Chains A and B, each alone.
Chain A
Amino acid sequence: MEIFAEHLRKDHLLSKVDARIKLLSALSLLGMVLSYKGFAFPVIITAICVFLCVRMKIPLKIFILRFSEPLFIAAVIVLLKFFISGRDGLIDGILIACRIIGAVSVVAVLGFSTPFTEIMSALSWMRIPKGFIEILMLAYRYVFVLLEDAMVIYNAQKNRLGYCSIKRGLSSFGTLAGSLVLKAFEHSHNITTAMIQRGYDGNIPAMKHKPFKLHDIAFSVILITIIGALWTI
């Protein structure tokens, strides 16, 4: 879970940019990457994003972890298209692979540069329903708690030869997953009690949005104009 952005440095060049600007810019870039019909644009976007990751001093291990799965999928798509449609398929496959890497790079920069709570605040500004954001925040908060519980149960099972054969492994895995659901019920009961004691009436107070700063707006307009110009070429 060290790959989560919360564990990364916060004093980089994108940390001072408003999360709403970063989210909107990322969504615009994703739209451009997906709708572009050639190789050049996604490659340029990837190069810019890799440069930003380097400037943000993202540890190499986390960078590789983040890109390994999409890179494998991109490689498989290229091979798949090649063996189905020959050379035309190969070109098609490389186009899709470029799109994958370009899009993954954009989301990686967004994830690496923006803490989770700021993304939630930006989503609420974008009028994403409050209920959805509340569930998202509760889920994110308790992923770490439940993960710790899961590790304790898993180690206890492993020490008692719970995974020494396929049959026992399956049974242990079912018990582990079931225990997590039980823990979820217990935690939800405890959280509700704690929240009611603090005045919870069914709604979690929403975060307040700061007004936009002029340099944030200027940054986004310049970025989208330059990249939009590249996209039209």
Chain B
Amino acid sequence: MRFQISNFKFQIFFLLFTIHYSLFTASDAYAMHISEGILPFNWAALWSVISVPFVAWGLYKLKKLSAVDLSFKPLVGLMAAVVFIISCMPIPVPTAGTCSHPCGTGISGILVGPAISILITAVALLIQALFLAHGGLTTWGADIVSMGVMGSFAGFLTFKALRSMKINLAVSGFMAGLFADWATYLTTSIELASGIKGDAPFIPLFYKILVAFIPTQLPLGILEGAMTAGMITLLYKKRPDLLVKMRVLKPEEVAA
């Protein structure tokens, strides 16, 4: 006999309750990374294929820039270490009463541009997959697309758009961090829903995953925005020359 719960509201409540408290209050949540093995072979292969040109673009940019500036390669390596540490850091999510982790792709997108930021994310994700079981080798492509591609582009484009409208640095940084985080979370939900749907329809499952992640990811995006704003403000106060060197600011903006 087929098992069915008739009360739809009860199903939704139980779904949210289960996800929220079994995953997020039991340990630090790593919701931005899709775990090893979740995606079936065809989806894992598809996301890997999609991620390849972006990583290749990052490598091309790296080769070009490091030919001009010998310190660029070590800088990218160290930025990858920073993204690795930031995306392993548990930070409090007040509304969820628990901890989650930021992506760090917003700030790397702003500082080194989306191409290099994608490469940085790919490196950080590979170390996490191999040695910490955050993410995975089979979901590496999917994680690069959600965190690297979407996160970096969302952060970079938001920051550039707001700066071109003369919005101040802290607000631009905040919005860049916020959208980078939310873009990552949205893409992760799409990847997760498509990977685990089986024969079920995609859209209802996608909405359910999206809704289930809201209690954690919504405030986390705001926290990532605050963190990105704090980082960019600190860099502006302490080393504005670096922001000029990385083409985040124009020389006249620093002089002003």
The answer on A and B forming one complex is yes
Chain A contacts to B: CB under 8 angstroms: 3-5, 26-27, 30-31, 33-35, 42, 66-70, 72-77, 79-81, 83-90, 92, 96, 99-104, 107-108, 110-111, 116, 119, 129, 131-132, 134-143, 145-147, 150, 166, 169-171, 173-175, 177-182, 184-185, 187-189, 191-192, 195-196, 200-202
The CA-CA distance from A188 to B245 in the complex, in Å, is 14
A111 near B130 with CB under 8 A, answer: yes
Which residues of B are found within 8 Å of A33, using beta-carbon distances?
37
Chain A facing B: main interface SS: helix
The CA-CA distance from A20 to B173 in the complex, in Å, is 43
Which residues of B are found within 8 Å of A180, using beta-carbon distances?
82, 85-86
Please tell me which one of the listed residues B41, B66, B127 contacts residue A31 in the complex, with CB atoms under 8 A apart.
B41
The CA-CA distance from A119 to B137 in the complex, in Å, is 13
Which residues of B are found within 8 Å of A77, using beta-carbon distances?
38, 196
The CA-CA distance from A195 to B78 in the complex, in Å, is 15
A142 near B81 with CB under 8 A, answer: yes
Q: A80-B18, A135-B123 are in contact. List 6 more A-B contacts (CB 8 A).
A: A5-B131, A83-B18, A92-B196, A116-B131, A182-B238, A188-B78
Which residues of A are found within 8 Å of B71, using beta-carbon distances?
188-189, 192
Interface residues of B, count at CB 8 A: 88
- B215 adjacent to chain A (CB < 8 Å): no
Given contacts A103-B136, A202-B66, contact A170 B230 (CB under 8 A): yes
Instruction: State how many angstroms separate the Cβ of A130 from the closest Cβ of chain B.
Output: 9
Please tell me which one of the listed residues A138, A166, A175 contacts residue B73 in the complex, with CB atoms under 8 A apart.
A138
Instruction: State how many angstroms separate the Cβ of B192 from the closest Cβ of chain A.
Output: 9
B233 near A100 with CB under 8 A, answer: no
- B55 adjacent to chain A (CB < 8 Å): yes
Instruction: State how many angstroms separate the Cβ of B46 from the closest Cβ of chain A.
Output: 12
Which residues of B are found within 8 Å of A4, using beta-carbon distances?
131-132
- B32 adjacent to chain A (CB < 8 Å): no
Given contacts A135-B77, A174-B231, A189-B71, contact A101 B37 (CB under 8 A): yes
Interface readout for B28-63 with A: 1 if CB under 8 Å, 0 if not?
001000011111110010000000000100010011
Q: Closest chain B residue to A96 by CB distance?
A: B196
The CA-CA distance from A67 to B228 in the complex, in Å, is 31
- B239 adjacent to chain A (CB < 8 Å): yes
Which residues of A are found within 8 Å of B124, using beta-carbon distances?
139
In the complex, which residues 177-194 of chain B have their Cβ closer than 8 Å to any Cβ of chain A? none
In the complex, which residues 2-20 of chain B have their Cβ closer than 8 Å to any Cβ of chain A? 2-5, 11, 14-15, 18-19
The CA-CA distance from A72 to B227 in the complex, in Å, is 28
The CA-CA distance from A188 to B72 in the complex, in Å, is 8
